[in-house]
Amino acid sequence: MKDAVKVMQKFDDIKKFVQGVMSEKRFAHTMGVAEEASRLAGIWDVNPEKAYLAGLIHDVAKELPYSDAKRIIESSGLLDDGDAFPDSVALHGFMAAHIAKTKLNITDEDVLNAARYHTTGRVGMSVLEKIIYVADFTEQGRPYPQAKEVREISERDLDAAVLREADHVIKFIIDSGRVLCTTTVEVRNSFLNNSKRG
């Protein structure tokens, strides 16, 4: 706990910036993700400061209007040639990485990628990317029972937690009649295949 407080103080300016661009509710979620990510980092041998920082920035662009984010991404050449343009759900992760780099001077690529891919995940995620993907779903403020289930799994098997979360997300998106992002399906299949191999 003492360490978590120290880490929080270290990132005080970033925290203030983040707090200034989002609602109180989203800021509470953000802090929940930062804390859960730093807890998981302790279990999975990742630098807890990096995990805390990635949690702190992951939703920094969530309340930026889609049209603004789209314009910024298009004009700044953020996507590699051949990259599909991210859909509205995935876009705020890309935008978060951009803001973190240009406004908050965060240069650590793993931290930036953890924010960039936090909504859909991606095949070949780093441990930190998995931690942010999971913590976004399981932070203490999440009210649904699936969060508790995935949180428990994440303490003993991080890959199994990613897989279970992807299952829940896919089911939820289908049940709510929304368009399913193909990356989420690819992530789910890749983790499922790996779990069968292992």
Structure tokens at 9: 């103080």
CA distances 123 to 76, 79, 132, 163, 166, Å, are: 25, 17, 15, 12, 12
Min dist CB 32 to Fe ion, Å, is 9
Question: Closest CB to Fe ion among 18 and 158?
Answer: 18
Question: Closest CB to Fe ion among 26 and 156?
Answer: 26
Buried b (16+ CB within 10 A) or exposed e, 49-75: bbbbbbbbbbbbbbebeeeebbebbee
Structure tokens at 190: 């890749």
Question: Closest CB to Fe ion among 6 and 178?
Answer: 178
Min dist CB 116 to Fe ion, Å, is 11
Min dist CB 25 to Fe ion, Å, is 11
Question: Closest CB to Fe ion among 136 and 165?
Answer: 136
Would you tell me which residues interact with Fe ion (CB under 5 A)? 59, 136
CA dist 49 and 54 (Å) reads 9
CA dist 40 and 157 (Å) reads 11
Min dist CB 78 to Fe ion, Å, is 17
CA dist 158 and 151 (Å) reads 9
Min dist CB 37 to Fe ion, Å, is 11
Question: Closest CB to Fe ion among 77 and 143?
Answer: 143
